[in-house]
Homo-oligomer: A and B are copies of this chain.
Amino acid sequence: MKKTMVKILEEVDLDQPIFIEALPGIGHVGKMAADHIIAELDAVKFAEIYSPSFPPQVMVNDEGIIDTMKNEFYYLKSAGEDKEDYILLVGNTQGLSPEGQYEVCGLILDLVEKHGVKEIYTLGCLATGQPVKKTKIFGAATDKKMAEKLKKYDVTMRSADGGIIGASGLLLGMGTLRNMSGACLMGETPGYFIDAEAAKAILNVLLAILKLDVDTEKLDERAEETKKMISKAQKMEQEMAERMTLKPGEEDLRYIG
């Protein structure tokens, strides 16, 4: 496997779907929100991505069964108030290298462009390092029209104190080169733990924008499962990072294989 591979599971016909990206990042706020929509609305998986820039590893679940590193596309047809189509992107990893991020995001955009996507929402969070009283949702947009739209949903436009690293930023930036409009929604979070509160806040804003109706009751329950999976993923990412930055005199005791 020298190249990123897109595996189509179902040839699906979608009508200008809205694209929602929620790959794992800090707080895993976006992932929890998207996984919840997928589960509650029975979204259907139709494609997977495998990439040599994903971590060279597998995950192991509670029963000792392994799972490969991948990104997964789900669709919803004629959903919500406006009977819109949707594509949701989730997964257990992002590309490790800059080149890998660009390659994978390029292939993601190839796929969703083929299905007619014109609008992208990426989910992330803004780790403040401070305790959060009431989760604020911050936003960044590809254009002023989208920025105005976000403000209607109580999204605070993010001011000039940083940027958006990873797929949540790159998909929007590379999307503008394909005339896609989009926004990144970021749940405020202290950043230290799996943040179900921030997930709920971002989910509510997202559902309002997308005009989708989803019961949010089970989110807390799911957050528990997600926490387990995620703490495992983070542990492994750290192991990878460590392996790549071992210092003289340090022995790597975590290598398995």
Contact = CB atoms under 8 A, between A and B. Distances in A.
Contacts of A95: 56
A44 interface: no
Interface string A182-221: 0010100001100000000000000000000000000000
Interface of A: 1-2, 7, 23, 25-26, 30, 50-69, 94-103, 105-106, 122, 124-127, 129, 139-144, 147, 150, 157-170, 172-174, 176-177, 184, 186, 191-192, 228-229, 232-236, 238-248, 251-257
28 contacts: A1-B105, A1-B174, A7-B177, A26-B257, A50-B174, A52-B102, A56-B105, A56-B166, A57-B170, A58-B164, A60-B158, A62-B160, A63-B147, A64-B150, A64-B159, A65-B141, A66-B184, A94-B257, A127-B254, A127-B255, A162-B232, A162-B235, A163-B233, A166-B256, A166-B257, A169-B257, A191-B251, A245-B247
